[in-house]
Each structure stands twice: as C-alpha cells, then as structure tokens.
Structure 1
C-alpha cells in the first residue's frame, strides 16, 4: 500500500519474509524526485528496543536526503510484526531478519546493497554491528547511535540473578525501568513516546542476556569490521554504558571511522531537544561514505600477513609467558592421562582433533568412553561450543546442499565435487534423500584412510549413485587438471579454516572454481572467530601432529578470496555464537539477488 507524503516522499507499507518464513512489517519512503544521474541509494533504519518503524518517519525528514530511499521494519515482537512483545527466538534470528530485509530491498526495489547505509539506534545498533561482523555485507557504511553493548541494569548482580532465574522460568520478562523523560530532554518527544500504544514496555530476559553475550563478542572482535562507521555516544545516557562503545570504536579496522560524544544528550540521540549535531554529523558521514569507493577484493589478499587476525595468529605461535606455559602444560598432561578414557579425545589424540575421523565422531554425537567416567568426560567434550558449532555447520551445509539439488532438473545429471571430503557423511547422507535425481559424486581427500571411510559409509548407506573416490591434495592445482567446467556444485567444508596462508587458499579456490560449469555453485565454510583459540593452540594437536593453531579468517576476507577466484557470494548462514559460517557463491557474472 502506498500513502502520499505531503512533502518529498511517498510512504509504502508492506511486508517481507525472513529466513524462517515469518512475515515482518516494514515502511519505505520513496523519493518523489529520484536522481537521474546515479543509481538509487537507500538508508536502512533500525529502531531501538521497545520501539517500531512508525517512529522513523520524522527522522527521515530530519535527515533531509530527499533523493534517497529510506526503509525501516518492525523487529519481530515489535510494532506490527508478529511475535510475543519484546521477544524473539534468539539474537541470531534478529540478525538474520536484517539480512533478509536487505535482500528483500535489493530484489523488490532494485537497490544494490553497495548503495545502502544502515542507521541503527541502541539495540538496533548491536544487531547491525553483529550483521556487519558475521555476514560481511558490502554496504557503504554504518551509523551507530548509543549502541547498547552494555545495558545499565542498576540492580546489583542483576545479570547472574537473571541467568539463575531462567533455569526455572524460560519465559521471564523484564519491564523497562526507563521513563520517557530519561530518554530525551524534549517534552513533546517524551509525551509521544509515553502515548504510543505500539511501544513494548518489556523485553525477554533470555533475549536481554543473549544481547549482552553477543555484544561482548562483537566488541572483542571489532577488528574484523572494516567498513566505515560513525558512532554517536550520549554523555548523559541512563540506558547504556559508553566505555564498550569506545572499545568497539578503537578496535575497528575501518579506514573511515568517526566517534562523536554528544554533550547534554540522553539515550534517544535522534529525538533530543536539539538533535542538530547528531543529524548533521550523520548526514556528513553518509555523504562521505557514498563518496568513497568500496574496498576491492584484492585488498584482502594480504590480510594473512597484516591486520589484527594476523597479529593474533603470530602471538599464538610465540608460546606465551611463563604462567601460561605452566597452566597449559598442566592441561596437556591431564589430556594425556585422562583423554584416552574419552572416545572422542582418544580419536583426537591418535589422528588429530581436526581430522576426518575426529569430525565424523563429533557428527555422530554419541558419547562413549571407558571406566564409566570416560563417557561423562566424552559428553563434556562433545558439548564444547566448537563441536556444537561443527554440528550446526553440518546441518546448515546439508540444508544448503539439499536446496541446490532440489532446484536442479532431476532428469539432468548433477555433478558434485567435494575437495576435502573426510568421511563425507554430510554429503552422502544428503544425497541419500535424492536418489530419484541423476547425481554423480567425486569425493577427494588428502588421506587414503579418509577416502576408505567414505567408501565404507557409502556402502553402508546403500547409495545407488555413481561415486568416484580419489586421494588428492586439495591445494595441488595440478590435481584439478582435466576437470574444467565439469561440476554443477563444489563443496569446501572445514578445510580453509585450518590454513592461514591466503596464497595457498586462493590457489585452491581458483582451481575449484575452474572446475565449475558457468553458473555453477560453490558451497564453502569459514571460521570468522573462535572463543577458545589459545586453549586449542596450547593443548590440542592437528592431523599432522602439530599444535592446532588457527587464524580465524573474517567473513569479508573469505568472501573476497572467493570473489577473486571468480565466484560471487549469494548468501551466508551463521552458526553457534558466530564461530562458523556456511556460504553459497555462483561462478561468473554479477551476484544474483534472491527475493
């Protein structure tokens, strides 16, 4: 539905489908006089917690960018969007909603994300920062106003108390203690806020704590974010703390970043009695972003040698100080003594904790061990956050693979290549459900016993599809010769995360993409971060018997390497705590836009 705006925009009210099929409400402000000398541009506004998109209209006017589109949607559980008020399945769903909305704007309104800037307030700013970190969208920039990286709860030990209470009552809600007069000095704005029937007065305690955990992760790993960022902080903010905002800003790798502390300003930065400074700083920053070129994929090629991730990786290789050596030395000793009691640890000690055997055991998720206590140790081992992430990654990988198989004409042969298959459980189990399709598989691995395991699993599953097994080095370009333009789908799972060298990864990617038919699909995984890097590097060994030292590769860097190889990312899905991602890319041409 389109509503005529009395000035320079027409307002559109509509909806979009998020990744889980939920239909969310949104508003769009279409410029009455769009530019004729450049592509359309858009501002994507994210409202703060408790609010809704209806409060964005006045802000669009204050920004005064008359030739640009503006968009805002009601977060689930807010405004006209469905869901229990102040609640959502989890923070990851809120972030996925933003990604789905941007994809919708691209498809429905023909605006490239390269011509978008996100303007987000409070909780919306945390969602936006998480999206930028985890999904690495190629947008122009991000404006963050009073980012809620740390919400002031005032009650002593409030967070531990809420975590304890949630063990007994999962539907616990927290009512907002903030009065309208604590958000803004403007009496009219405070009255409008108080009288708005669509404003939710409470928030799910579970969601509140998840936001805090997510914010802590994003602040700690802000160096992975390199797009332009403007941060607006209020000096008299009763809602959120300023220190985490400064920490986030300091760690950003963005070549264009600005921090503005607004004097005599409450939390509702854009709704203050005098918001001129905040609005003008935002408009100036927006124009600067649109005037600056997007970073070229080639600029990420040397990220393995410089940048925060490279420095952290180098630090892991130096061994740490004496206290750390003693601490991890004790852990290694305990692992050697008690590890063999756990079946998972025994496999890891024998074959490497990153080996195909180890991953296959983690996928099965069935604790086993010796002497009774071994099974308990094994259960704790399998429930480690990294292994839970691996299992979620497998599910996401299988879902993405199944989607691509399902849309391929069943009467046409579909050829799939996995360059480091291990036991290939995720692939073989998926193909088992599509034996009415004409599918041919090529499974390769560096180790012969992994290939033998894959062959046995295929036999156990009684697969009736042709399967070619080969012992090959995924990084040997010569091993791909003669397979150019042969495959419809190539899968690279859990491989490039283990190798820091971008030159090595890029060479492999180029060879893999050459094997794809024009328009063929690449499914690839990445590990943008991990909360236990030092523990893993100091205590566990890899498949080569060396310390398992990993360099998390930011999503933007991984996507750039894929782009340089000749494929362009279409979508990304995020796993547990953002540790792993699964992405889909297409060979050649411009990135496709899904509706």
Structure 2
C-alpha cells in the first residue's frame, strides 16, 4: 500500500493508505479502522479487495496511526464524519463512474453506521459493518455513564486505558504478536471520544431506518468487545440490511484463522452491489433526456 498525507479543510493532516485494483476496476472501498489501531493492519484484506477489482483507501483516523494529534482523542466525533465526506468527495471526483462502498470495523464500523444515518453521497452504493461499536459487550451502568459525562465535560482530552485482552481481539498467535509489537497501537481513549462514540452508537440504532442503501453487517455473538445485540437492532431497523453472525470468531474476524471464509463472501457481496449500482447508473443516464432533446 502507498501512503500520503492529505490536507483537510480544517488544517489537519490526515495520513491515508491507498492501493489500486489489480486489473479492471469495478469500484472503490473506503475502509475505516477501529480504536487504537491504524490502516496499516489491513494489508491482507486490502489485497483481497484489490484482486477482486477494487481500489481501496484507508485513512488513519484522527488520534491514530501516523495522523498527527493526541493519541486516542478527537476534538469532536463529527470530525470523523467530515473526514469521510472529504474522502468520499475526493474518490468520487477522481473516478466519477466508480461506485463507493464504505467498510468500517469496530469503532470504524460505528463511524460508518453514524455516517450512513446522518450523511449522504450519491456515489456511495453500499456499506459493510464489521463488529461495529453500537453496543458494548460490557454495558456501562447509568451511574458510570453519568460519571464519564461529567469527567468528559471537565477533562475532555484526558485519556484512559483501552486495552482488552489480546485473546478477545484474535485467537491467532501471529496476529497477536504483531499487534503487541506494533508501535503505532496506543491502547488509549479520551473521555470525550469514549462518551461521544457511546452516544453515536445509540443514536445510530435509533435512526437506523435512515440508512436506505444495502448494508452487510458481520458480527460474532461471542465478541467480548462490541456486542452483536447492537448489530441485531440496527439490522432489524435498517430497511436493506443483512446480518451475518459469526459464531466462534473473536472481535477481529479478519485476523482470525479461517478469515478468508468470511472475507471472500463479503468481497463477493460488495462486487455484486457495485455491479448493480453501475447498471442502475447506466439505466438512469439512458432514461434521462438530455438538455438538447428537451430543447428540441
């Protein structure tokens, strides 16, 4: 994967990875990673999409990876959505005939879900949520939430540990070793981000019917980090959502033994919906009369 820094409208510099399709390109995937990690951990999944004919772009979220800023913190959660708007606009302007699919894992899945219910772009034809942060498995009590809100209002930048047991992320030894030795993984979250991500998950479920594009959600019922219950509620309310449960998988399905058995059907699903989007766009262009015809 190639990498570069993009200058965002608010002056921030966002580090992004890009990787081009092998052979003819049929679509573009904008992939959003999870808390504490970075886009460089998705090389094997990117390669799978590339070989299937997709360009892929992965930003290092604000407060993550090689993007500058305090680790595990963002000034406001809506900046994540603004960054997606910017990146989608860029992809659409570079390749206006190629449909775009949003793919988010964990906190990235929560961000994508929130974008899908709050924002819109005609080039985005489908979405994939992998173990999205909508509900947490260890649900905080009302008192804990209240205390976090008070603390976040006073000390928004203060970070607390966010370090789940490695076996909750993946059961693969090599993937575990790479994670533990990765210097870009920070294992922190600010009080403000924790509260806003929690709120965004609940708000996304409440507004799931606003997500009107095809959506594939994959989640393990055995996930010890994010709860499949949130995905189930979202899928029940979103009109075109499909939920696939992955019993026995840890949080990061893409780093589990046998990950291809999940990833390859996802890629096939994405390819099919991009194909349908291209057909629909071609039909729309054919059926829409030109200005010349109208004036004639």
TM-score by length of 1: 0.45
**What does the per-residue CA deviation read over 1:9-36, in whole Å, with 9 as the maximum and x for residues that have no partner?**
xx32112222312110111112353x2x
Match of 2:21 among 25, 31, 35: 31
SS of structure 2 residue aligned to 1:170: coil
- Look up the match of 1:145: 130
- Look up the match of 1:76: 62
**Separation (CA, whole Å) in 2 of partners of 1:207 and 1:40:** 35
**Separation (CA, whole Å) in 1 of partners of 2:152 and 2:103:** 33
**Separation (CA, whole Å) in 2 of partners of 1:191 and 1:159:** 33
- Look up the match of 2:236: 250
**Separation (CA, whole Å) in 2 of partners of 1:100 and 1:161:** 34
Match of 1:99 among 85, 94, 107: 85
Question: Aligned pair in 2 of structure 1 residues 221, 236: CA closer, same or farther (>3 Å)?
Answer: same
- Look up the match of 1:289: 273
The answer to whether 1:127 aligns with 2:140 is no
- Look up the match of 1:169: 155
**What does the per-residue CA deviation read over 1:495-514, in whole Å, with 9 as the maximum and x for residues that have no partner?**
xxxxxxxxxxxxxxxxxxxx
Question: Matches of residues 32-71 of structure 1 in structure 2 within 5 Å?
Answer: 32-33=22-23, 35=24, 41-63=27-49, 65-71=51-57
**Separation (CA, whole Å) in 2 of partners of 1:19 and 1:152:** 36
The answer to whether 1:158 aligns with 2:144 is yes
**What does the per-residue CA deviation read over 1:69-98, in whole Å, with 9 as the maximum and x for residues that have no partner?**
111110011111011000011110111111
- Look up the match of 2:214: 228
Question: Aligned pair in 2 of structure 1 residues 40, 289: CA closer, same or farther (>3 Å)?
Answer: closer
Question: 1:165: how far off?
Answer: 2.4
- Look up the match of 1:341: none
Question: 1:166: how far off?
Answer: 2.8
Question: Matches of residues 439-450 of structure 1 in structure 2 within 5 Å?
Answer: none
**What does the per-residue CA deviation read over 1:361-382, in whole Å, with 9 as the maximum and x for residues that have no partner?**
xxxxxxxxxxxxxxxxxxxxxx
Which 5+ residue runs of structure 1 have no aligned equivalent? 1-10, 298-563, 567-587, 589-595
**What does the per-residue CA deviation read over 1:353-399, in whole Å, with 9 as the maximum and x for residues that have no partner?**
xxxxxxxxxxxxxxxxxxxxxxxxxxxxxxxxxxxxxxxxxxxxxxx
Contact 2:167–2:250 under 8 Å retained in 1: no
Contact 2:103–2:127 under 8 Å retained in 1: yes
Contact 1:50–1:201 under 8 Å retained in 2: yes
Question: Aligned pair in 2 of structure 1 residues 213, 155: CA closer, same or farther (>3 Å)?
Answer: closer
- Look up the match of 1:116: 100
Contact 2:14–2:60 under 8 Å retained in 1: yes
Question: Aligned pair in 2 of structure 1 residues 87, 145: CA closer, same or farther (>3 Å)?
Answer: same
Contact 1:235–1:262 under 8 Å retained in 2: yes
Q: Which has the higher contact order (CA 8 A, sep 6+)?
A: 2
Contact 2:45–2:254 under 8 Å retained in 1: yes
Question: Aligned pair in 2 of structure 1 residues 132, 13: CA closer, same or farther (>3 Å)?
Answer: same
Question: 1:117: how far off?
Answer: 1.1
- Look up the match of 1:518: none
Q: Which one has a bigger Cα radius of gyration?
A: 1
Match of 2:10 among 5, 16, 20: 20
**What does the per-residue CA deviation read over 1:522-549, in whole Å, with 9 as the maximum and x for residues that have no partner?**
xxxxxxxxxxxxxxxxxxxxxxxxxxxx
The answer to whether 1:275 aligns with 2:265 is no
Contact 1:42–1:116 under 8 Å retained in 2: yes
Match of 1:237 among 223, 235, 255: 223
**Separation (CA, whole Å) in 2 of partners of 1:163 and 1:153:** 18
Which 5+ residue runs of structure 2 have no aligned equivalent? 282-287, 292-296
Question: Aligned pair in 2 of structure 1 residues 14, 171: CA closer, same or farther (>3 Å)?
Answer: closer
Question: Matches of residues 526-545 of structure 1 in structure 2 within 5 Å?
Answer: none
Question: 1:120: how far off?
Answer: 0.9
SS of structure 2 residue aligned to 1:140: strand
Question: Matches of residues 360-375 of structure 1 in structure 2 within 5 Å?
Answer: none
Question: Aligned pair in 2 of structure 1 residues 68, 154: CA closer, same or farther (>3 Å)?
Answer: closer
**What does the per-residue CA deviation read over 1:290-319, in whole Å, with 9 as the maximum and x for residues that have no partner?**
23237989xxxxxxxxxxxxxxxxxxxxxx
- Look up the match of 1:405: none
**Separation (CA, whole Å) in 2 of partners of 1:266 and 1:220:** 26
CA RMSD across the alignment: 2.3
The answer to whether 1:185 aligns with 2:171 is yes
